[in-house]
Structure 1
Amino acid sequence: MQPVVIQWAGGEHAFRLGLAELETIQQKTDCGPEYLLHRINAAQWHIGDLMEVLRNGLIGAGMPHVDALKIVRKAFDNHPAILFKVPAQAVLAAFLFGPPDDQPGEDSPAGDQTQTGSNADAGSSAPITG
């Protein structure tokens, strides 16, 4: 997955959560990514939740660990904690649901078509429900 660029209290940076970063976040917050996003959305977050998501998002996008820690700590030291809620939500949502500009139902680029289902499904235009 491609990094997302987010303007936040620490500046404008690329963020990406790979599996290694997600494992670190899970260990530090004691919950999975969807539960953590719910916890943040429900205003039940801990300061460490936001810090870990942002720090690991920077690392996943290629920033060295030490630099990511410095930027996050400096930002949290100089700004109200609530300013980090929306950026943390955006980083987690990009991992869970894809980047915000990747709209459902958009045609995939030419040559990037994958075939799923059987030939019996090929001519069907009925929506799939389940």
Structure 2
Amino acid sequence: MSRSGAIEIAWNGGTHSFRLAIRQWVELQEECGIGPPELLSRLGGSRWRVQDVRQPIRLGLVGGGMKPADANILVARYVDERPLIEAVPVAQAIVLASLVGVPDEPVGKEAAAGAATEADATDASPSPPITDPAPPWGSPPAMSTT
């Protein structure tokens, strides 16, 4: 998991880094009047408000390293001047990443190699299996003696 809560999102012509650290969360709570779990709930449903969408994006850009003036320009251009519903999934992803982190998933050959290594390690485990193996196909079911 990403310990910082940072996330990279392809958004409106570029890939941007977003992060809501404590400093941004304090400001976000003041702007929206609610805390992180309620904001996530609103964004996941149909009860979000304009500031619930705008502010996580703006503050997430700032927390991700963008200058506040540049973040304001992007939000004005790609949130304020577009249908607001387009920005809801972006805001939701930023908030979710901040609260639960982002999985660090290797892709391609790295993922296959990692899966093989984990399977090899599991097969070599000295621990007994958690459940009994299934009986061979076509054999009668086992009877309980208890």
Give the counterpart of 1:42 among 41, 45, 58.
Answer: 45
Give the counterpart of 2:58 among 46, 55, 72.
Answer: 55
* Equivalent residues of 1:10, 1:71 under 8 A apart: no
* TM-score, normalised by the number of residues in structure 2: 0.65
Q: Which runs of 5+ in 1 are unaligned?
A: 103-125
Identity in percent: 35
Structure 2 SS opposite 1:75: helix
Q: Distance in 1 between matches of 2:5 and 2:67?
A: 18
The letter for the 1-side match of 2:91 is A
Q: Aligned residue pairs: how many? A: 104
Task: Let me know the Cα RMSD of the aligned residues.
Answer: 1.9
* TM-score, normalised by the number of residues in structure 1: 0.73
* Equivalent residues of 1:9, 1:79 under 8 A apart: no
- Alignment correspondent of 1:76: 79
Matched, 1:96 2:91: no
Of structures 1 and 2, the larger Rg is shown by 2
Q: Which runs of 5+ in 2 are unaligned?
A: 106-129, 131-146
Q: Deviations over 1:6-49 (max 9, x none)?
A: 12236421100100000000000000011101011111111111
